[in-house]
Amino acid sequence: MTNCIVKNPATGAVLAEIPIDSVEAIKVKIAEGAEAFKSWKKTSAHERAALLMAWSALIKKNRQQLGELITAENGKPIKEALGEVDYAVSYIDWYAEEAKRMYGRTIPAHVPNKRIIVTREAIGLVGAITPWNFPAAMMTRKAAPALAAGCTFIVKPAEETPLTTIRLIELAHEAGFPTAVVQSILADGPTVGEIFTSSPEVRKITFTGSTPVGKWLMERSAQSVKHMTMELGGHAPIIIAEDADLDLAVEQTVIAKFRNAGQTCVSPNRLLVHANIADTFVEKLTKRVDLLRVGNGMDNHNEVGPIINKKGFDKIVNQLNDAVEKGAKVVIGNEFDFDEGADYYFVQPTILTDVTADMKMMQEETFGPVIPIVTFTSIDEAIDVANNTPYGLAAYFFTESYKMGNYIAEGLHFGILGWNDGAPSGAHVPFGGMKESGIGREGGSEGIEPYLETKYLSMTI
Ligand SMILES: NC(=O)c1ccc[n+]([C@@H]2O[C@H](COP(=O)([O-])OP(=O)(O)OC[C@H]3O[C@@H](n4cnc5c(N)ncnc54)[C@H](O)[C@@H]3O)[C@@H](O)[C@H]2O)c1
Ligand SMILES: O=CCCC(=O)O
């Protein structure tokens, strides 16, 4: 592959054909990033914060253009794409502030003539690899804390959606970041994975993507003991307790589930509803889902865009066929609008009932607009089913009871919990997963820690 062909997933039209970086060119960028670290780490936190604020201002000025770029290459509705630009910028704003709070400490010495000082230092050159589902926000939530900490940064965006990243990096340079401090590269994942993991100059890898690729990167990085942040796959449950506010649960389920047509790592993948309220809930949810308009995200009225590509579409169809063959009942959806020749794929929002544990969608991430519904009769049973997965990213639950809510929260093994809340993400909170959903957190005060080393100085005076 010498060129990366970027397509509009809503139409299959080619948006751009960009030459990919050669192995040699990638190695040169890594060397430049490592060299730039020597001076960048010496800049003051206030200087770095000011550059981040200048970058943020330029992104805000170009909000509409960036939003349209996201919709064009990713497919999500324009309103959501503009929301993603705001979300992406919020990480830059947050870490421009956090840059100034990289506090150290002093430790009382065990003898009178010693003084001990603990400082925090930037790790070095960071290699980032990002997915196509949030082309702006997954990049800035890595770049902003890395740059704030004093690290230099190289990102490899997904081949499906590199245009947003390329534009964001241009704006960073326009804002005043030296070229070698923040860079992007364009190449296929395995090539970049191979180079990043084998390069001693790359001191940290931060990855957002699928669990198998994350595991592979971790294995290879062991050779040079790199720092790692892993934001991997999810398999989020929603538990609807018997006393839940059903209208609220319906509204929040729709928000959580159909964002980016279900192609979101925190997207609910399994809906567990108490048997006594299941019929009422399914009826209300179906009415609401029936109102969702599917189509090209550039049309402001559409709320559910296309699936990113044929591979993603085939996975969804395969899971649906498997579920129906094993006895699931289609309440709404299971319909498709696609054209393999043109290369676009839409899936109608789908609700399935009579879902059982042996169905593929109860074990694997679907990454599509599909809601499988399972009933339960006791909350312990629901918690067990929810936890019965190697993943542990996000989980949601709906109950009006304070005691029940706390009981469920304490029982769930997930890094992010939404109680009566389908939208828990934000720059100010620690985002990340347990078990095979990842290592480390992005966002919040936790999000800068993975870019810092601890150094302590012991002085005899
Ligand atoms: N936990 C989170 O914060 C989070 C956020 C968004 C997406 N995700 C996950 O990402 C996945 C969807 O993205 P995807 O299907 O594009 O994932 P993917 O792992 O196939 O690709 C993600 C990125 O990794 C690159 N890549 C592929 N193979 C590689 C290799 N061998 N070495 C290095 N890089 C490689 C790709 O080019 C892309 O840039 C889902 O599993 C989703 O849950 C997780
Ligand atoms: O897909 C993963 C990111 C979604 C989010 O940050 O809420």
- What integer pLDDT is reported at residue 2 of this predicted model? 84
Report the alpha-carbon distance of residue 66 to residue 82 in Å, rounded: 8
Mean pLDDT of the chain: 98
For residue 190 and ligand 1, the question of a CB distance below 6 A is answered with yes
Together in a domain, 225 and 241: no
User: What residues contact residue 454 under an 8 Å CB cut-off, 6+ apart?
Assistant: 118, 119, 120, 121
Which residue in the block uniquely carries the two structure tokens 């970041």? 177
User: pLDDT for 152-168, tens place per residue?
Assistant: 999 999 999 999 999 99
Report the alpha-carbon distance of residue 178 to residue 229 in Å, rounded: 25
Instruction: Quote the ligand 2 centre to 350 CA distance (angstroms).
Output: 21
- The structural domain count of the chain equals 2
325 is catalytic: no
Together in a domain, 43 and 116: yes
Q: What are phi and psi of 102, to 5 degrees?
A: -85, 70
- The mean pLDDT value for 365-375 works out to 98
- What integer pLDDT is reported at residue 205 of this predicted model? 98
Instruction: Quote the ligand 1 centre to 133 CA distance (angstroms).
Output: 9
Token pair in block for residue 181: 């401090």
Together in a domain, 211 and 278: no
What does the DSSP assignment read for 324-344? HHTT-EEEE---EEEETTTTE
Together in a domain, 194 and 256: no
**Percent of the chain scoring above 90 in pLDDT:** 100
Together in a domain, 148 and 289: no
Above 70 in pLDDT, residue 388?
Answer: yes
Q: What is the CATH number of the domain that holds 291?
A: 3.40.309.10
- Residue 431 is assigned to a structural domain of this protein: no
- What integer pLDDT is reported at residue 1 of this predicted model? 63
- Residue 392 is assigned to a structural domain of this protein: yes
Together in a domain, 246 and 205: no
Together in a domain, 291 and 421: yes
- Residue 80 is assigned to a structural domain of this protein: yes
- Residue 455 is assigned to a structural domain of this protein: yes
For residue 77 and ligand 1, the question of a CB distance below 6 A is answered with no
231 is catalytic: yes
Predicted-complex ipTM score? 0.95
User: pLDDT for 61-116, tens place per residue?
Assistant: 999 999 999 999 999 999 999 999 999 999 999 999 999 999 999 999 999 999 99
Token pair in block for residue 64: 């509409």
User: pLDDT for 4-15, tens place per residue?
Assistant: 999 999 999 999
Above 70 in pLDDT, residue 194?
Answer: yes
Together in a domain, 284 and 209: no
- Probe residue for ligand 2, chosen from 231, 365, 416, 431 as the CB with the greatest number of ligand atoms within 8 Å: 431
For residue 382 and ligand 1, the question of a CB distance below 6 A is answered with no
Task: Give the closest residue (by CA) to ligand 1 atom 36.
Answer: 189
Above 90 in pLDDT, residue 44?
Answer: yes
Report the alpha-carbon distance of residue 68 to residue 122 in Å, rounded: 35
Above 70 in pLDDT, residue 277?
Answer: yes
Together in a domain, 114 and 159: yes
Sheet with 125-129, side-by-side order of all strands: 182-184, 152-156, 125-129, 202-208, 227-231, 438-439
Range of the domain at 377: 236-426
Q: What is the CATH number of the domain that holds 202?
A: 3.40.605.10
